[in-house]
A and B are shown apart, each in its own frame.
Chain A
Amino acid sequence: QKEVEQNSGPLSVPEGAIASLNCTYSDRGSQSFFWYRQYSGKSPELIMSIYSNGDKEDGRFTAQLNKASQYVSLLIRDSQPSDSATYLCAVPSGNTPLVFGKGTRLSVIA
């Protein structure tokens, strides 16, 4: 069974700080990696995808991928209360389009 692991949190950070969210995956053959944000009562929204080792930046978000360590992370700079949500790591695995982690609940304290 292919797995995607995340700390469930909650992760609490003060407003303006950097939030660091981590994810490990078991399928060494995975080639693409996705971060979704899910507000309570809403459906997941794609915020970042990454395919190559290294960093990918998009505004306040940076995704980091290390395939050798089977590790992908999401950094949120200058965290805002509006960033408070559950962040889901998702990885395609075999014939399964996306295997999701359990998600990390982020709380940004004003």
Chain B
Amino acid sequence: SAVISQKPSRDICQRGTSLTIQCQVDSQVTMMFWYRQQPGQSLTLIATANQGSEATYESGFVIDKFPISRPNLTFSTLTVSNMSPEDSSIYLCSVDRVSPRQGDYGYTFGSGTRLTVV
């Protein structure tokens, strides 16, 4: 199973600033995924990060707003740029790995970053 460390766990930021979220996996993975969960909503995929290539963004998300780095097979960062209150969400990284639960294969999530923009 994969252990994912994500930080910061929460932050309160001023509008117009940027925040970089880090995600560290305890084993090498080909792809890492970044999700957003707005208050009271489900998860929406922002982008897929592959090592050695540019991230692939989903419709509605652009690199200028959410730049992603993937310097190696165990680490990725997501930056939320020029923040506004609408960016207040939980941001989660995810990898596809065997889950701790009886060896079920699936997608495992980091603990999340709760971002509040004021």
Q: Is A69 an interface residue (CB 8 A)?
A: no
Closest chain A residue, CB of each to CB of B99? A46
Residues in A28-83 with C-beta less than 8 Å from chain B: 34, 41-49, 58
Q: Is A98 an interface residue (CB 8 A)?
A: yes
Interface Cβ pair total, 8 Å cutoff: 58
Can you report 21 A-B residue pairs in the complex whose CB atoms are below 8 A from each other?
Answer: A42-B111, A43-B109, A43-B111, A43-B112, A44-B43, A46-B101, A46-B104, A46-B107, A46-B108, A47-B101, A48-B104, A49-B99, A58-B101, A58-B102, A90-B43, A97-B33, A97-B94, A97-B107, A98-B43, A98-B107, A100-B42
CB-CB < 8 A to A45: which residues of B?
A: 101, 109
- Interchain CB contact under 8 A, B48 and A97: yes
- Interchain CB contact under 8 A, B42 and A103: yes
Report the contact-size class of chain A (Cβ under 8 Å from the partner).
20 to 34
Given A43-B92, A97-B48, also A102-B42 (CB < 8 A): yes
Q: Is B85 an interface residue (CB 8 A)?
A: no
Q: Min CB distance, A101 to chain B, in Å? A: 6
CB-CB < 8 A to B105: which residues of A?
A: 49
